[in-house]
Amino acid sequence: MTAPLFLRDPYMREAQARVTAHTAEGGIVLEASVFYPKGGGQPGDSGWLDWKGERHTIATAVKGDKGAIVLVPAEPVALPPVGAVVMQHLDWDRRHRHMRVHTALHLLSVAVPFGVTGGAITAAHGRLDLDMPDAPQDRDGIEEALNAYVEMDARVSDGWITQSELDAAPHLVKTMSVKPPRGAGDIRLVGIGEEADWIDLQPCGGTHVARTGEIGHLRLGKIEKKGRMNRRIYVHLDS
């Protein structure tokens, strides 16, 4: 199992770690990772590893077996051997933009409060698929609501809930097609605002900014019909 350093501190940009395994496909498994593995609509992180004066470019990170995080080199190279200590470096600008977009999508789920059937994140924009029969009529109102939450500079925090506690509070789960993982211990909750008056609180395993003001101004993008009961809404970072 790889320790997920990005959950402990999503602002950690580099860290040393020991190589614990190689995969048959040429991936690298470390004992602890600052690289977020692809999942929940969020892309895997990219960056590089430094080892004995050599630099290994990492194209992405993915989930492996038994809790492993696999770093995928950008090209076939001789891998640092098992037991070697390497220095991890994130492509921080790309990761930080993912964090901004991910938090923006949580705000979008508040501004347009329908069940979430899917979503995706890039470094420039994100989108949610929502279980709603008709397109929202007030585009300007949604965009204004999103930017009002940004201007509030509300705190973004995380905590943990047991599976039985989550079962007793089903309203916390907004996603309809992807359920929080079961059988893996406690479930992480990401909250926006303060405990006495949450703006949003839902299970999530992704990385987020510390305050909504860090997202910056948002633009509402296309609204597409993706089925009889599905609308896809895009939101874009201004810069």
* pLDDT tens digits for range 151-164: 999 999 999 989 88
Q: What is the pTM of this model?
A: 0.94
Structure tokens at 169: 């509070």
Confidence check: pLDDT of 182 > 60: no
CA angle at 174 for the pair 154 and 198, rounded to the nearest 5°:
25
The residues pairing with 15 across neighbouring beta strands, listed in sequence order, are: 88
> For 83-96, what is each residue's pLDDT tens digit?
999 999 999 999 99
| Nearest alpha carbon to residue 193 among 205, 179, 208, 178 | 208
The yes-or-no verdict on residue 175 having pLDDT over 80 is no
CB 28 within 8 A of CB 69: no
- Give the β-pairing of 69-73 and 85-90: unpaired
Domains of the chain: 3-90 (2.40.30.130), 95-237 (3.30.980.10)
Tokens of 177: 């097609």
